[in-house]
Amino acid sequence: MKTILSSETMNIPDGVSIKVHAKVIHVNDNRKRKLKIDAWFGSRKTSAAICTALSDVENRVTKDYHYKMRIVYAHFPINASITNNNKAIEIRNFLYKKNVFF
């Protein structure tokens, strides 16, 4: 069953501003005081994604969390390289496919 409106808000601490553009959240200096995320006619998974996004932002802003990712393979080797001024990862030879994934 779909919910008509799922909405969550978060208070932003002093000295921090947040800018949201095209599903990307940018955190800067002080301008705004609240972050609000709405989802119209969303399922239960959409409501859960809203809470996850807000807790992610809150943890990174207040507790200064950093997420690190390692590339690990068990049997099939993967080649990865960082490109585009440290903003993109090229993954080659993933499951022996010839195309490049970004």
Other CB atoms closer than 10 Å to residue 48's CB: what's the count? 12
**Domains of the chain as residue ranges with CATH:** 3-62 (3.90.930.12), 69-102 (no CATH)
Side chain identity at residue 24, one-letter code: V
Query: pLDDT tens digit string along 3-31?
Result: 777 777 777 777 776 777 776 666 665 54
Query: pLDDT tens digit string along 73-83?
Result: 888 788 888 88
Q: Give the pLDDT band of residue 35 (cuts 50, 70, 90).
A: low
Instruction: Check: pTM over 0.75? Answer yes or no.
Output: no
Residues 6+ apart with CB under 8 A from 69: none
Return the H-helix or E-strand segment holding 57.
Answer: helix 44-62
